[in-house]
C-alpha cells in the first residue's frame, strides 16, 4: 500500500476517517477477501488515490471483520466506497467502476487550487506566520471574492485585530451561511466599541429627537455588553418608524445573532420587534 492508503478497523475509524476527513477527503472502501469485484476495484482506486499525492486518503475496511461499521453505513453490496468530508459522508458508489469513472468520482472531491491555498494559509497561521497566511488569503479573494473559507478565515484575522469595517467588506460578497451571519453580526457590533457612551448620552439628553445619536448610543451599549439597554433603545427607534428605523432593526438582529436564539431575552425582543414592524 502507498502512504495514502491504510487498513482501518472499527477501533480506529474515528481517528483515521472521521477526524482525518476534516483535513483531507477520505474514501472508505468496504471490501471482503472473497469478493471478486473488490479485487478488481482495489488496484484502480489505490492508483488514483496515489496519484493525488496526499490530497485524498483511502481507508480500506474489511466488511466481514467490521460488520458493525458496515451495518451503520448501510452497506448492502461490496465493494462500496463512501467519501467523507468534515466528518460526514458526502457521496458513494457500489461496484467495480472502470478507472475513468473512479477518477471522475475522486476528482470531484479534491480541493481546487484556491481551496489548497486556503489550507496552506491555515498551516502558515498555525505556524505563527500570520502575514504569510494573510497574503495567501488575500490572493485567493482577488481571484474569487466569494470564496467562503478564504473570506471567513481572513475576516477572523481582521476581527482579532479590530479591523471590523474591512472584515465586513470581506464578508458581504459571500453567501450568508450561519458562520458568515454570526461573523457579520459580531463585526457590526464591535465597530461601535470606540463610541463614547457618555458623549452620546449627553447628545440624546440635549436633543431627544436626534435619532442618529440615539442609534449610536444603543449600538455602543450593545458593544459594551449592555444588551437589554441596547435592545430597548433600538426597539424605540423601530417603533418610531423614523429615518434610522431599518438600521435599528438590523442592529437588533445582530444582537440576536450574537446572543443566540436560546437566550430568553432574544425570544422576548424578537416578538416585540415583530409587533413593532407589523
Catalytic annotation, residues: 35, 38
Query: Strand runs (DSSP E) across the chain, as ranges?
Result: 5-7, 26-31, 57-62, 80-85, 88-94
Gap between the terminal Cα atoms of the chain: 65
Q: Which three cell numbers stand for residue 111?
A: 480541493
Q: What is the CA radius of gyration of the chain?
A: 26
CA proximity to 27, closest of 1, 45, 52, 44? 45
Q: Is 89 exposed, middle or buried (0-12, 13-18, 19+ CB in 10 A)?
A: middle
Q: Is 108 exposed, middle or buried (0-12, 13-18, 19+ CB in 10 A)?
A: exposed
Amino acid at each position: 500500500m502507498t502512504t495514502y492508503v491504510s487498513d482501518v478497523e472499527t477501533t480506529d475509524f474515528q481517528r483515521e476517517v472521521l477526524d482525518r476527513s476534516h483535513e483531507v477527503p477520505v474514501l472508505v472502501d468496504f471490501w471482503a477477501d472473497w469478493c471478486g469485484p473488490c479485487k478488481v476495484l482495489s488496484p484502480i482506486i489505490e492508483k488514483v488515490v496515489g496519484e493525488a499525492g496526499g490530497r485524498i486518503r483511502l481507508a480500506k475496511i474489511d466488511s466481514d471483520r467490521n460488520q458493525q461499521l458496515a451495518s451503520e453505513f448501510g452497506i448492502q453490496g461490496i465493494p462500496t466506497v463512501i467519501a467523507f468530508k468534515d466528518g460526514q459522508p458526502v457521496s458513494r458508489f457500489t461496484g467495480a467502476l472502470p478507472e475513468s469513472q473512479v477518477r471522475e468520482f475522486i476528482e470531484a472531491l479534491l480541493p481546487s487550487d484556491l481551496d489548497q491555498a486556503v489550507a496552506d494559509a491555515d498551516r502558515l497561521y498555525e505556524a505563527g506566520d500570520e502575514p504569510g497566511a494573510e497574503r495567501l488569503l488575500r490572493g485567493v479573494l482577488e481571484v474569487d471574492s466569494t470564496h467562503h473559507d478564504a473570506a471567513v478565515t481572513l475576516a477572523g484575522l481582521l476581527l482579532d485585530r479590530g479591523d471590523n469595517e474591512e472584515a465586513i467588506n470581506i464578508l458581504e460578497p459571500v453567501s450568508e451561511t450561519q458562520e458568515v451571519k454570526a461573523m457579520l453580526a459580531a463585526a457590526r457590533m464591535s465597530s461601535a466599541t470606540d463610541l463614547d457612551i457618555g458623549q452620546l448620552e449627553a447628545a440624546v439628553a440635549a436633543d431627544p429627537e436626534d435619532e442618529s445619536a440615539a442609534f449610536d448610543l444603543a449600538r455602543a451599549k450593545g458593544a459594551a455588553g449592555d444588551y437589554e439597554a441596547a435592545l430597548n433603545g433600538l426597539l424605540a427607534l423601530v417603533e418610531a418608524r423614523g429615518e434610522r428605523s431599518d438600521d435599528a432593526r438590523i442592529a437588533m438582529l445582530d444582537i440576536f445573532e450574537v446572543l443566540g436564539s436560546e437566550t430568553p431575552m432574544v425570544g422576548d425582543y424578537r416578538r416585540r420587534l415583530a409587533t413593532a414592524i407589523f
